[in-house]
Amino acid sequence: MSRVWNFSAGPAALPIEVLQQAQAELLDWNGTGASVMELSHRGKPFMAMAAEAEADLRRLLQVPEHYAVLFLQGGATQHFAQLPMNLASPGASADYVLTGHWSEKAASEAAPYVKVRIAASSKEAGYRGLPAVDLASLDPKAAYLHYVANETIHGIEWRQPPPSGELPLIADMSSNILSAPLDVERFGVIYAGAQKNIGPSGLVVMIIRRDLLQREGQPIAKILRYREQAAADSMLNTPNTWGWYLAGLTFKWILAQGGLAAVEAENIRKSSLLYQAIDQSGGFYRNPVDTAARSRMNIPFTLHDPALDSLFLEQSAAAGLMALKGHKAVGGMRASLYNAVPLAAVQALVTFMAEFVRRNG
């Protein structure tokens, strides 16, 4: 069996070196004679691995000590609801910025627990760019300001976070975390589903300012309280041990690439190559996003004739290019270029795209 070039939006490609190491260690991890999935999460071997994974993540993002790092369960969608449970008192309001499907969903899932106020939105413009956010548009009494750093469906990405003034800034970074250097101290909370740039689905990594852990929030079960998870080193109950292990391997892989500055440079090369192929196709391919808001991680594009879509997908799959169908909400195609997608994959894609134009233009 030969591997394909995987452009899936998530669960997504993992670094081949990480998969190979996990394969080699599957039956005997670190000389224990058992898989990491078969060991107690409270045993010394796993506890040491978990601590090392956290240390590597802190090193990558230069996370200050006054932030806790949590390895949680569920997907980011669960935390759309869990965040207001923890950070907003009953009857409080929170500001949300809408830039696409996932920020809409974040606001919707929060609505039962907090009075959602839309501070800015690009919905009327079809989510083709970033809305203007200034301090005057924010409610100074809001519990926090929430935004989605990268919209996987609409292909929108914030290069810099929106201003939040005195409000804690909450960022869903599921699809662009670890793709570039980041100033963690600009945020109150950063959270991310693992299945894009960290590891397998079912794991959520959260970086939260410790003072926010002291908020009373709302009456909820102990298992849902971030403060309790932090006090228990994310082991209030049995964690996703396999996901945590693979995340640790991925953090080491990123460090081996030269860290986040090197990863960002490669992501710029990959995305620039694909955007150039789209923009220079003479209108055969089109990307609907404002140039300044274009995502490096998720690149949607359409063909000039939608009747060619099925042929494009059929022939690209035959060429070993996997998961290029766009989301049903926007149609067309989408190529997700997460950290583990190599430059060679993008080169193969743009070569195919040029050949498809030659045959069908």
Q: In the prediction, which pLDDT does 361 show?
A: 85
137, two tokens:
């548009």
Handedness of CA 233, 238, 241, 247 (dihedral sign): negative
Q: Which residues are catalytic?
A: 102, 172, 196
Query: Angle at which helices 101-110 and 76-87 pack, to 10 degrees?
Result: 40
Residues 302 and 356: their CA atoms lie apart, in Å, by 13
CB atoms within 10 A of CB 222: 11
pLDDT (tens digit, 9 = 90+) per residue, 304-339? Answer: 999 999 999 999 999 999 999 999 889 999 999 999
Biggest CA-to-CA distance, the chain: 62
157 lies in the same domain as 170 = yes
169 and 285 share a domain?
Answer: no
Judgement on whether residues 43 and 128 belong to the same structural domain of the protein: yes
Give CA torsion, residues 347, 351, 353, 354, to 10 deg. Answer: 140
Residue 336 sits in a domain whose CATH number is 3.90.1150.10
Considering the domain architecture, whether residues 345 and 318 belong to the same structural domain is answered as: yes
Is residue 9 in some structural domain?
no
Pair (125, 249) in one structural domain = yes
Please check whether residue 108 lies inside any domain of the structure. yes
**Separation between Cα atoms, residue 54 and residue 244, nearest integer Å:** 10
Burial class (CB in 10 A: 0-12, 13-18, 19+), 313: middle
Buried b (16+ CB within 10 A) or exposed e, 175-205: bbbbbbebeeeebbbbbbbbbbbbbbeebbb
User: Does 173 lie in the same domain as 28?
Assistant: yes
Residues 95 and 167: beta-carbon distance below 8 Å: yes
Tell me: cis bond preceding 163? Omega within 30 of 0 counts. Answer: no
What is the reported pLDDT for 309? 98
Q: Which of 257, 281, 300 is the last residue of a domain?
A: 257
Q: Do residues 277 and 347 touch, judged by C-beta distance below 8 A?
A: no
The pair of three-digit structure tokens given for residue 30, joined into one six-digit string: 């670190």
**Same-domain check for residues 37 and 102:** yes
Looking at the domain assignment, is residue 65 inside a domain? Answer: yes
- The number of CA neighbours under 13 Å toward the Cβ of 313 is 14
Among the candidates 204, 224, 257, a domain finishes at 257
Q: Are residues 196 and 267 in the same domain?
A: no
Domain count, the chain: 2
Instruction: Tell me, yes or no, whether 6 lies in a domain.
Output: no
The answer for residues whose C-beta is within 8 angstroms of residue 169's C-beta and 6 or more apart is 144, 145, 147, 161, 162, 186, 187, 188, 189
The strand ranges marked E within the chain are: 5-6, 67-73, 93-98, 115-121, 145-148, 150-151, 156-157, 169-172, 189-193, 203-209, 285-286, 298-303, 321-322, 333-336
Q: Which residues of the chain have pLDDT under 70?
A: 1
Per-residue confidence (pLDDT) for residue 1, from 0 to 100: 55
Does the residue 5 lie in any domain? no
Q: Are residues 222 and 278 in the same domain?
A: no
According to the model, what pLDDT value does residue 350 have?
Answer: 98
In-domain check, residue 245: yes
Looking at the fold, whether 47 and 72 belong to one and the same domain comes out as: yes
Q: What is the pLDDT of residue 74?
A: 86
Q: How far apart are CA 232 and CA 49, in angstroms?
A: 16
Q: Verify that 167 and 241 share a domain, yes or no.
A: yes
* Residue 77 is assigned to a structural domain of this protein: yes
Print the domain residue range for 344.
Answer: 259-360
Give me 7's structure tokens. 């452009």
Tell me the CATH number at 112. Answer: 3.40.640.10
Contact 11, 201 (CB under 8 A): yes
Question: Does residue 8 belong to any structural domain of this protein?
Answer: no
Burial of 79 (0-12, 13-18, 19+ CB in 10 A): buried
Is there a single domain that holds both residue 232 and residue 320? no
- Among 197, 223, 257, residue at a domain's last position: 257
